[in-house]
Structure 1
């Protein structure tokens, strides 16, 4: 699958990643997943968006999304690419201190360290203004003390630290504002509990408890007063990368269905000759291509520094990709019939996984709210 707006460099990168991904078995266990991550990092794929001055490829979210899409299209999606280089790496590269950049970016780029991201809370859901994880300053030492809970945090067990979204009190207004803190995995009072998921994925989900976690002053990323600006510097790439995750998964499911439809013969012709099979697969292909175009638009806007434009496009891309992914997976399973639910073909596990692109990191309903209010100018109901 190629697009007209891609440069020759992008096409070459896409071909190289696709060739690399096809040489690896599906990452069905943690060891395979770790090996794939490390080999991809050695080739420069994991840190392709991070600054060259700190060991990265010097490219952008456009290239990182391309990498994730091609890995997913080969059946090897790396969920932590959304989190470690895209969210955490981007935030540190844009707003971190020079010391934070030197400390974290080279190891995030070469795959030797991972960083998780914690924003969602049990009682806040999609309302980030209700985040209750608070950070207060110890007047005597200058340390930060974090207290709160987070849920659905991916890969905490394999991450060296977690970028936590907390809230500090504005000295002028008394209102709480979001701030970002690097919390080491072994910080005292930082506890994790795995969430029992029916999602069949290598990366596990966790609930976190921060019980008066004491951090040095330099654990704060960026300006204490920047608030939402820094937060959305990470959330827009997250949406673009989730779109890439969904598109790659959808492409993988579609390719398995096409192979089957070409070969499976009932009566005298392959089942792919029947329009009842062919047309839904063609529709799935069209919708995946349309979602990719919006994803590329969002990535280009973000890389060009248009945060506002990227916000709208990234939400639309994530919505389109989530819908296209679910439809592609469902149609692939239906094409294979009973075989679609066997382990041999590996599609049944995608029925649950494809829903991730719809509900995370933000639900499709909240995206529709965003477009209704921000794009169409309609009033809010909340």
Structure 2
């Protein structure tokens, strides 16, 4: 593993950072307060090829990997304007379709996901299932050549921006009578498909929705991938999800740390010296820099393993990266508020709105506790506890 990024990747970082700087936290925060998506940034990032950098070239993508997509996410987030739907549309849905979709599905979906002209949301969480995906009850049954899909989903991001939602559901196995997972691309304007916004106290541009599916009729080609291989297909999208979520969190941490350092260099209270000269301010910021770099390294390791097809190694690293990035991000934002004192909660600085946004990363897309369960079971070979 080379710890020096290639010239191409360094150039990509610089270009994305410049794009992020033109929009910045002020733009994103104003949008978030109005519950409006970052549409202008999304559109420009798509036109520049950043959103689909991980998707195959023959379908309009950049032909690179999850590492490069995470790089884009990290730099935008570090500029204060990370794109949540990058986690969902190109990372989860794009990866699944590129790997398991039919040729027709690839040609239909991937170009739009690559240039941002099409957004696909992802629906897995259910009100009565939570983190236990084995309890999913959204069910598809055959009706002639079609499928009928019925169920509920909750906390689904960006449905109002999406033309389709990649829904995780189940079908009955005729041999065993047990339900097995399958994936369907469901149009958001399909009869029987309804979505309602969930009121949230988090200041974020992208809204969360509850979905209601009542015998939504889908053609056979809405089934993504193989009917008997959906569990493997589902997991193929979850490693990129965790890696992109880590990049988002690392970026937020970097943004908060940079804001703290600037303020600590300028603010003077005692001895006519900047407050950053005092160890009580400097040491916590130095510690956060270390923690963010550690989380970033694990995120990069996870991305490399993912791109090399090391599924189990990538799963372990992606979960660890997501855990580390969430904790470092939360600490970074909290310390940024503390460094600014009263100004840390003033609207002028905007750091107060980051408190809840950073806190989300400890819960979604997978909770800290479920990551610890994974590491205990698969890394330490301890008995399953849940």
TM-score (norm 1): 0.97
Q: Could you list the per-position Cα deviations for residues 290-340 of structure 1 after superposition, in whole angstroms to 9, with x for gaps in the alignment?
A: 000000000110100111111111000000000000000000000001101
Does 1:70 find its partner at 2:75?
yes
Partner-residue secondary structure (3-state), 1:77: coil
Paired with 1:125 and 1:174, the residues of 2 have a C-alpha distance of: 24
Paired with 1:131 and 1:160, the residues of 2 have a C-alpha distance of: 23
Paired with 1:284 and 1:381, the residues of 2 have a C-alpha distance of: 32
> 1:227 Cα deviation (Å)?
2.6
1:229-308 matches, within 5 Å, as: 229-267=232-270, 268-308=272-312
Partner-residue secondary structure (3-state), 2:121: strand
Partner-residue secondary structure (3-state), 2:23: coil
1:202-213 matches, within 5 Å, as: 202-213=205-216
Q: Could you list the per-position Cα deviations for residues 74-107 of structure 1 after superposition, in whole angstroms to 9, with x for gaps in the alignment?
A: 0001000000000011110000111111111101
Partner-residue secondary structure (3-state), 1:137: strand
Paired with 1:5 and 1:173, the residues of 2 have a C-alpha distance of: 51
TM-align CA RMSD: 1.1
Paired with 1:8 and 1:313, the residues of 2 have a C-alpha distance of: 25
Q: How many residues align?
A: 378
Paired with 2:48 and 2:227, the residues of 1 have a C-alpha distance of: 36
> 1:31 Cα deviation (Å)?
6.3
> 1:5 Cα deviation (Å)?
3.5
Does 1:349 find its partner at 2:353?
yes
2:37–2:205: 8 Å Cα contact kept in structure 1?
no
Corresponding residue number in structure 2 for 1:155: 158
Does 1:45 find its partner at 2:50?
yes
Paired with 1:170 and 1:310, the residues of 2 have a C-alpha distance of: 30
Paired with 1:271 and 1:70, the residues of 2 have a C-alpha distance of: 28
Paired with 1:155 and 1:32, the residues of 2 have a C-alpha distance of: 8
Does 1:131 find its partner at 2:136?
yes
TM-score (norm 2): 0.96
Structure 2 gap ranges (5+): none
**Stretch moving more, 155-164 or 6-15:** 6-15
Corresponding residue number in structure 2 for 1:107: 112
> 1:132 Cα deviation (Å)?
0.5
Corresponding residue number in structure 1 for 2:20: 21
1:297-336 matches, within 5 Å, as: 297-336=301-340
1:222-233 matches, within 5 Å, as: 222-233=225-236
Partner-residue secondary structure (3-state), 1:57: coil
Paired with 1:31 and 1:249, the residues of 2 have a C-alpha distance of: 19
Corresponding residue number in structure 2 for 1:89: 94
Paired with 1:192 and 1:163, the residues of 2 have a C-alpha distance of: 14
Partner-residue secondary structure (3-state), 1:112: coil
> 1:4 Cα deviation (Å)?
3.2
Q: Aligned pair in 2 of structure 1 residues 206, 21: CA closer, same or farther (>3 Å)?
A: same
2:217 to 190, 214, 219: 214
Paired with 2:360 and 2:209, the residues of 1 have a C-alpha distance of: 15
Q: Could you list the per-position Cα deviations for residues 261-300 of structure 1 after superposition, in whole angstroms to 9, with x for gaps in the alignment?
A: 0000012110000000000000111100000000000011
> 1:175 Cα deviation (Å)?
1.1
2:364 to 360, 363, 371: 360
Paired with 2:384 and 2:326, the residues of 1 have a C-alpha distance of: 24
> 1:23 Cα deviation (Å)?
1.2
Q: Could you list the per-position Cα deviations for residues 166-188 of structure 1 after superposition, in whole angstroms to 9, with x for gaps in the alignment?
A: 01111221111111000001101
Paired with 2:385 and 2:204, the residues of 1 have a C-alpha distance of: 36
Paired with 1:136 and 1:165, the residues of 2 have a C-alpha distance of: 14
Corresponding residue number in structure 1 for 2:180: 177
Paired with 2:238 and 2:273, the residues of 1 have a C-alpha distance of: 48
> 1:142 Cα deviation (Å)?
1.4
Corresponding residue number in structure 2 for 1:198: 201
Partner-residue secondary structure (3-state), 1:327: helix
Paired with 2:331 and 2:183, the residues of 1 have a C-alpha distance of: 36
2:36–2:205: 8 Å Cα contact kept in structure 1?
no
